[in-house]
Amino acid sequence: MTKAQSSAGDLMERQPLVIGAIGLAVGAALAGALRTTQIEDNYIGGVSDDVKAGVSDCSSR
């Protein structure tokens, strides 16, 4: 167990951006897997729709 902790610590010291990118990817995957709430839809629903429409327009070109 100590060797694994040491390896993880060494990796974090040598490659902090990789660890950050992995954390960001995991967070995005979890957020994408969850359903939106009514509060989220009320506050950012319009912005979300605009972004989706923009992405759809760019991908169809």
For the entire predicted model, the pTM comes to: 0.52
Sorted by sequence, the CB contacts under 8 Å of residue 11 that are 6+ apart come out as 18, 19
pLDDT in tens, 3-61: 666 787 888 888 889 989 999 999 999 988 988 889 988 988 888 888 888 888 787 77
Tell me which residue has tokens 């989706």. Answer: 52
What is the tens place of the pLDDT at every residue in 31-43?
A: 889 888 899 889 8
